[in-house]
Amino acid sequence: MKQGATPAFNVQAITLDLDDTLWPFAPIGERIEQVLHHWFLQHAPKAAQQFPVTAMRRLRERVIERFPQKSHDASWLRHKGIEIALTESGHDPALADAAYAAFFAERNRVDFYPDAHAALQRIARRVPVCALTNGNADLTAIGITRYFHSQVTAREFGKAKPDPAIFLHACQTLGTPPANTLHIGDDIEADITGARHAGLKTCWLHREDARARHPAWPRRDFIPDLVFSNLAQLADWLEAATPS
């Protein structure tokens, strides 16, 4: 569908991805690695020596491979990695809770895309919005809970996007049928393909910072219902498509 076109569907609610949709995650990822390393330097120096940032990345990969049944739970995987680093370096693994708390505080210090915060307010005034994420962002810590009807996380649900079940659960939470629920996200497989398989309408948020990786929509078997380069454009479209 072209931008600004009249929709062939009635949007009753929205499910919204968070990371790389409302804010870029790459700067957060870099900061949380440094914060955790500095915490190790202060409180577990042998862990800092044995597991600098690059080693912690490898350890995280090892944890994901070792515990595939926890692949949907980003918080558990991160905490487990910290616990293993402490144990293998000879520190008390009970320190993992404090280390994770330092990580988690930094993880929720986000810098919104310039358009995102105001657009989110506009969208939330039109239809109920459910945050739908595989990550562990905390809406309360970030300060945006008031814009959301609800939040569905892979950790709590037990399955991650692109599994259709998590999208259908979000629709049930919102009380809207999939055909009248619009999912907005940046990830081609986790967001757009997963939502389509669940029967939701889809909006691919194709931001400038992702265009080197995906200059255009890459799949040949289907295209998203909507494509916008920022959330403000989606808010414009929604205001034109829904009654005030």
pLDDT tens for the chain, 244 residues long, are 444 444 567 899 999 999 999 999 999 999 999 999 999 999 999 999 999 999 999 999 999 999 999 999 999 999 999 999 999 999 999 999 999 999 999 999 999 999 999 999 999 999 999 999 999 999 999 999 999 999 999 999 999 999 999 999 999 999 999 999 999 999 999 999 999 999 999 999 999 888 888 889 999 999 999 999 999 999 999 999 876 6
Same domain, 37 and 79: yes
Please count the structural domains in the chain.
2
Q: Considering the entire predicted model, what is its pTM? A: 0.92
Examine the fold and report which residue of 82, 107, 132 is the final residue of a domain before the chain moves on: 107
Same domain, 92 and 209: no
Domain extent for 180: 13-23+112-241
Q: Are 128 and 173 in contact (CB under 8 A)?
A: no
In-domain check, residue 197 = yes
Same domain, 218 and 129: yes
Same domain, 118 and 171: yes
* Residue 184 main-chain phi, psi, to 5 deg: -115, 130
Same domain, 152 and 102: no
In-domain check, residue 145 = yes
CATH assignment of the domain containing 40 = 1.20.120.1600
